[in-house]
Amino acid sequence: MTITRARFYNPVVGRFTQENTYRGDGLNLYSYVSNNPVNYYDPSGYSSCSSKSNPWNEFQKANKGKFASTKEAVEAYKKTLGVTYEGSLYRNVGLMPNGSPVDPLEISPFTEKQNYRYTKPGTNGLYFGRDQNVVDCEIRSYNTDPYGKGRTTYVYDDVKVDNMLDLTNPKTRKLMGVKKGDLLTDDYKTNIGGATTHKMGEFAKDNGYTGLIVPSARLDGGVNLVIFDPKNINF
């Protein structure tokens, strides 16, 4: 896959090597932290629902008589929670075992075999940070230097990803029966397939979501995106 829209962070000069194509951040076009905290939206109205347009009520109205029980209706509703993410994505990668650079937008053979927070071995997913701090904190949490030899941070601006399951949204977490703390523990390392995060990943994948928007476990307030099949995204 050709990386035509990525920027590369140069730690020596502390700047990105290309001008950010997004011109909404004021005069400093090399800025890497947007001042706008609202960088994804929910076309369904789920995350900003008012008492007049409650999506759960709308769903029930539209599917009246279709389900045998409320529980059945809730299970069906859980499959319709997709939101659209719009903004930048950051990813830090190293080298392939043969010394060639990892393609940041492809599932490498060893990624497929690894055990990640939302994707157990055999379930593919690429992990991105919503900003550079998230990526740096996560790489550093393993005592690895994100700017060490052979490592590169790729930045994709103005990315739009539809149908994401947003677990940063407390309402979505409540509906899914999970607490934020369940998503931040390292249980996935010791309970493969049974950990809450693995179950959320499996649910999202099995129900056709493009991926997940999740709280960072390494940076308080940080946000990660997990995308199951990067080929579906226009980077």
Partner 1 sequence: METDFIIKLAKAYTEELWSDFANLFPKVDTDDAILKEMPDDVVNVLVGLLGIEQVKEWVCTPLERLDNQIIKELIKTDTGLKAAKMFILSMRI
Q: Which of 121, 170, 208, 221 binds partner 1 (CB under 8 A)?
A: 121
144 forms part of the interface with partner 1 (CB under 8 A): yes
Q: Which of 17, 86, 101, 110 binds partner 1 (CB under 8 A)?
A: 110
Of 9-17, 90-98, 162-170, 171-179, the segment contacting partner 1 by CB under 8 A is 90-98
Of 11-19, 33-41, 91-99, 199-207, the segment contacting partner 1 by CB under 8 A is 91-99
CB of 103 to partner 1, least distance (A): 16
Residue 96: is it exposed, middle or buried by C-beta count within 10 angstroms (0-12/13-18/19+)? middle
Of 22-30, 39-47, 89-97, 176-184, the segment contacting partner 1 by CB under 8 A is 89-97
CB of 94 to partner 1, least distance (A): 6
Specify the DSSP element, H or E, that contains 43: none
31 forms part of the interface with partner 1 (CB under 8 A): no
Which two three-digit tokens encode residue 20?
């950010």
Residue 94: is it exposed, middle or buried by C-beta count within 10 angstroms (0-12/13-18/19+)? middle
Specify the DSSP element, H or E, that contains 91: strand 83-93
The residues in 153-212 that bind partner 1, with binding defined as CB under 8 A, are 186, 188-192
117-152 burial, b at 16+ Cβ within 10 Å, e below that, comes to bbbbeebbbbbbbbbbbbbbbbbeeeeeebeeeebb
106 forms part of the interface with partner 1 (CB under 8 A): no
CB of 106 to partner 1, least distance (A): 15
117 forms part of the interface with partner 1 (CB under 8 A): yes
Task: Quickly count: other Cβ atoms within 10 Å of residue 183's Cβ.
Answer: 24
3 forms part of the interface with partner 1 (CB under 8 A): no
- For partner 1, which is the closer residue by CB, 150 or 208? 150
116 forms part of the interface with partner 1 (CB under 8 A): yes
Pairing of strands 211-215, 152-166: parallel
In order of 35, 55, 116, 148, the CA distances from 166 in angstroms are 21, 15, 18, 32
Residue 156, phi then psi, degrees to nearest 5 = -115, 120
3-class DSSP state of 181:
helix
CB of 105 to partner 1, least distance (A): 16
What is the size of the binding site for partner 1 (CB under 8 A)?
Answer: 30
Longest Cα separation, the chain: 63
Chain positions contacting partner 1, by CB under 8 A: 94-98, 109-110, 113-117, 121, 127, 138-139, 141-145, 148-150, 186, 188-192
